[in-house]
Amino acid sequence: MRIGILTSGGDAPGMNAAVRAAVRRGWELGLEIVGIRRGYAGLIEGEAVPLTPRDVGGIIEYGGTFLHTARCPAFLTEEGRRKALDTIDREKFDALVVIGGEGSLQGARWLTEQGVNVVGIPASIDNDIEGTELAIGVDTAVNTVVWALNRIRDTAFAHERVFLVEVMGRESGYIALMGGLAGGAELVLVPEVEVSLEELAQQVSSIYRKGKHHSIIVVAEGVIARLGSTEVIANFLRERTGLEVRVTVLGHLQRGGSPTATDRILASRFGAQAVEDAKAGIFGHMVAWQKGKVVRVPLTVVRRKQMAIDLRLYELVHQLAI
């Protein structure tokens, strides 16, 4: 069997570990593994390169994806999709392994509907993919936020300041919530829970009335569209509370870095399972993590989670900020 493998959409730490596992387990099973560069864009352009176990040596510890990735609006067009199918025919792929987020897996579902044999692997630092409790890259991103909060708190404490820390998460507050909880944040703002600027100012004032002299507020980027920029929020807090407020935007720092052991192990299990399923002729699904096991979830049910956070944990963050 000839198997194509691609990484698509936003990069996530652990993608390389998944590719490595798929290539090495695939070779052990007698499969021919071909890497497709730049995701769906590379599939459209026919950027395919054979991969051997030696080609993926030494990549498990690196973030990003050595196959490269790209956002690909062209894959949403009729012409782009036709070219992608042409590449699959020309390269004589018996199956594809698609590693990516919810949008990339939607593309995998479309390929399945066209008769292409596909196995999906979830990779998204937002942990917003329906059907899996955990995706590749989540643990590393959360640990990066905690690493940053640990350092920011040193300055917040020394200068008795309020720090607004903006983290990724346009529609999902998972990184903000879990990073904030593990990093000891006093307040967390997530897209799933609506809070006004006035309510926020009251919460901050309440923290200081309890005797605290510094605080960290973690803000998911999806909140910004509703409340304004992080600097707008900071200015409002300065005016309402009279406190010294600073802003830190973590940005793409959260996407990079060496994957944690959890992400390397999860990605390795997903990659190996994907090619084992291909060898067995089992397609049309995403490998997923549920209740401590790798399972199969039909691509037909894979979509963005409507609620990616546990509201009980959201309440716990604020209960602990006394």
Buried (b) or exposed (e) across 287-296, using 16+ Cβ within 10 A?
bbbeeeebeb
Q: What does the alpha-carbon distance between residue 101 and residue 121 come to, in Å, rounded to a whole number?
A: 8
- 219, 185 Cβ separation under 8 angstroms: no
How many residues appear in the chain? Answer: 322
Phi/psi at 46 (nearest 5 deg)?
A: 75, 35
Minimal CA–CA distance to 275: which of 7, 34, 31?
31
Architecture per CATH, 139-255: 3-Layer(aba) Sandwich (3.40)
* 27 class by beta-carbon count within 10 Å (0-12 exposed, 13-18 middle, 19+ buried): middle
CATH architecture of the domain 2-137+259-301 equals 3-Layer(aba) Sandwich (3.40)
- Tell me if residue 84 falls in helix, strand or coil: helix
Determine phi and psi for 238, rounding to 5 degrees: -60, -45
Active site residue ranges: 126
* pLDDT per residue rounded down to tens, the chain (322 residues): 999 999 999 999 999 999 999 999 999 999 999 999 999 999 999 999 999 999 999 999 999 999 999 889 999 999 999 999 999 999 999 999 999 999 999 999 999 999 999 999 999 999 999 999 999 999 999 999 999 999 999 999 999 999 999 999 999 999 999 999 999 999 999 999 999 999 999 999 999 998 989 999 999 999 988 888 999 999 999 999 999 999 999 999 999 999 999 999 999 999 999 999 999 999 999 999 999 999 999 999 999 998 999 999 999 999 998 7
- Give yes or no on whether 2-137+259-301 and 139-255 have one common fold: yes
Question: Radius of gyration over alpha carbons of the chain, in Å?
Answer: 22
Say how far apart CA 275 and CA 100 lie, in whole Å: 16
Full-model pTM: 0.96
Running DSSP on this structure, what letter comes out for residue 136? Answer: B
**Residue 313 identity (one-letter amino acid):** L
Residues 200, 189: Cα–Cα separation, whole Å: 9
Domain boundaries, the chain: 2-137+259-301, 139-255
- Distance (Å, rounded) from C-alpha 311 to C-alpha 270? 28
